[in-house]
């Protein structure tokens, strides 16, 4: 059993996992979703859109709906990526599931107006959709095409779990007791000097094999000039120097969009931070808690990351620099995975990526979103892949995101 538990946490194995491992991982992910539902249940009556991006009940229901839509209801599920995403789907076991949980039907504002099912009914939907998934998985076969939708559903549910963790953070709820908690003190990490890398040719992106997300397609060679990059994400101690120096009051460090955001939000420190002078104090579960100065700064928007870099005379890394360092720098002290990290550039497909495969979100409009690399403390181990990419708008700071810097 220990070997199986280790296997479902292995990101390389899980991208190509067979039926047995997928079954265990899907059960594990659904159990996590059920625990989040139980954690949110006592506070649901008081929730409103001012606190959260999406209703927690919607996120929970969406995880079950996505799995059912692409597996139990997907007539062409056995064709994998060759399936017609607009092809026929069977009816849901829940008559109103599409109207409630299909993200294309309602935007985030409208989701708060929906009369979503009660937690007990939603819990039953979670159980029944997983039962159907496991039955179909047992008869699916072991080809990449046959297992595509199962791997896809697992990835989506793990990502929904991160969104629920961010919502729990915003509401000051206790964390999932079986998951790492970024709002609790982390062990101190000794500081390391930045790492230099020589100019070289580097393969950016993922090669075919198993489930490859659309935004990692496909591996292609790029020229990377010589660069120097932080060994660790920027810490609270380093970020506090910027705040204490009045960085949030000086427009010279901010982009025009970033300065407008700072002014509109009246932001003088990252989200949840109450004090940055003498010590970093944050609001956690209704109490003020001291944060270790060596911990990675978290809940930092891209606007804030860029402003810090200008103030420090540094810059964000490019995607190629970040990925190269993550793959080659571990023996020299490069550490990642504490926070998602903002990098230079905007969300875009890689050259030759082709059409977005079924089940993946389309690419955002050019210039609308930035890129996050790595993983956070709340990312499931099986999703911690060095070539993984996430996209988010520059103002998003409810995510578990931070940054590191490069020399100019």
pLDDT, one tens digit for every residue, the chain (408 residues): 567 778 999 999 999 999 999 999 999 999 999 999 999 998 887 777 766 789 999 999 999 999 999 999 999 999 999 999 888 999 999 999 999 999 999 998 999 999 999 999 999 999 999 999 999 999 999 999 999 999 999 999 999 999 999 988 888 776 555 554 444 545 667 788 999 999 999 999 999 999 999 999 999 999 999 999 999 999 999 999 999 999 999 999 999 999 999 999 999 999 999 888 888 888 776 678 888 889 999 999 999 999 999 999 999 999 999 999 999 999 999 999 999 999 999 999 999 888 899 999 999 999 999 999 999 988 999 999 999 999 999 999 999 999 999 999
> What pLDDT is attached to residue 172?
78
Q: Which two tokens stand for residue 132?
A: 């159907």
Tell me the sheet residues that pair with 89. Answer: 74
Tell how strand 340-346 and strand 401-403 pair up. Answer: parallel
CB 61 within 8 A of CB 119: no
Answer whether the bond into residue 218 is a cis peptide, omega within 30°: yes
Q: How far is CA 157 from CA 19, 28, 58, 170, 296, in A?
A: 17, 10, 13, 20, 26
SS3 content of the chain, % helix, strand, coil (to 5): 40, 15, 45
Global confidence as pTM: 0.94
> What pLDDT is attached to residue 51?
63
Q: How far is CA 121 from CA 60, 94, 111, 239, 400, in A?
A: 12, 10, 18, 45, 30
Phi-psi region for residue 232, left (φ > 0), alpha (ψ -120 to 50) or beta? beta
Tell me the sheet residues that pair with 221. Answer: 203
Residues written for the chain: 408
| Cβ neighbours, 10 Å, residue 269 | 21
If DSSP codes are grouped into helix, strand and coil, which group holds residue 28?
helix
CB 164 within 8 A of CB 171: no
Q: Angle 390-79-83 (CA atoms, 0-180°, nearest 5)? A: 65
CA atoms lying within 13 Å on the CB side of residue 290: 6
Closest CA to 137 of 126, 153, 159: 153
Burial of 408 (0-12, 13-18, 19+ CB in 10 A): exposed
Q: Angle 299-302-307 (CA atoms, 0-180°, nearest 5)? A: 105
Q: Which two tokens stand for residue 196?
A: 């230099």
Closest CA to 372 of 406, 335, 347: 347
> What pLDDT is attached to residue 285?
66
> What pLDDT is attached to residue 178?
58
CB 151 within 8 A of CB 211: yes
Q: Sheet harboring 287-291: ordered strands across?
A: 273-275, 280-284, 287-291
**C-alpha to C-alpha distance for 344 and 358, rounded to whole angstroms:** 28
For 38-52, b/e burial (b = at least 16 CB within 10 A) is: ebbbeeeeebeeeeb
**C-alpha to C-alpha distance for 350 and 217, rounded to whole angstroms:** 6
> What pLDDT is attached to residue 1?
55
């Amino acid at each position: 059993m220990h070997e199986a538990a280790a296997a479902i946490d292995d990101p390389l194995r899980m991208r190509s996992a067979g039926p047995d491992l997928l079954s265990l991982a899907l059960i594990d992910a659904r159990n996590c979703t059920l625990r989040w539902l139980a954690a949110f249940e006592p506070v649901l009556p008081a929730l409103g859109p001012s606190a959260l991006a999406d209703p927690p009940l919607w996120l929970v229901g969406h995880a079950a709906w996505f799995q059912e839509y692409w597996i139990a209801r997907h007539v062409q599920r056995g064709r994998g990526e060759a399936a017609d995403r607009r092809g026929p789907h069977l009816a849901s076991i829940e008559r109103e599931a599409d109207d409630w949980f299909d993200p294309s039907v309602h935007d985030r504002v409208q989701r708060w107006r929906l009369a979503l099912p009660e937690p007990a009914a939603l819990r039953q939907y979670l159980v029944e959709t997983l039962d159907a998934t496991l039955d179909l998985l047992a008869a699916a076969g072991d080809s990449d095409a046959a297992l595509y939708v199962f791997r896809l559903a697992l990835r989506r549910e793990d990502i929904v779990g991160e969104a629920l963790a961010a919502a729990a953070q915003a509401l000051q709820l206790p964390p999932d007791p079986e998951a790492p908690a970024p709002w609790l003190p982390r062990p101190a990490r000794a500081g390391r000097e930045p790492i230099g890398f020589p100019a070289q040719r580097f393969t950016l992106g993922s090669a075919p094999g198993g489930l490859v997300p659309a935004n990692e397609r496909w591996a292609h060679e790029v020229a990377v000039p010589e660069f120097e990059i932080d060994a660790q994400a920027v810490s609270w101690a380093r970020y506090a120097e910027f705040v204490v120096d009045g960085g949030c009051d000086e427009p010279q460090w901010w982009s025009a969009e970033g300065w407008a955001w700072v002014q509109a939000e009246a932001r003088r420190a990252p989200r949840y931070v109450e004090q940055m002078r003498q010590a970093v104090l944050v609001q956690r579960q209704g109490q003020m808690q001291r944060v270790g100065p060596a911990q990675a700064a978290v809940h930092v928007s891209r606007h804030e990351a860029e402003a810090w870099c200008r103030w420090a005379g540094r810059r964000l890394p490019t995607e190629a620099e970040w990925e190269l360092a993550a793959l080659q720098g571990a023996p020299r002290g490069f550490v990642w995975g504490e926070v998602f990290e903002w990098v230079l550039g905007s969300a875009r497909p890689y050259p030759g990526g082709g059409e977005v495969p079924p089940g993946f979100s389309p690419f955002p409009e050019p210039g609308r979103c930035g890129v996050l690399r790595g993983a956070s403390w709340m990312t499931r181990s099986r999703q911690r892949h060095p070539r993984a990419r996430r996209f988010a708008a520059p103002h998003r700071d409810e995510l578990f995101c931070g940054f590191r810097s490069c020399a100019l």
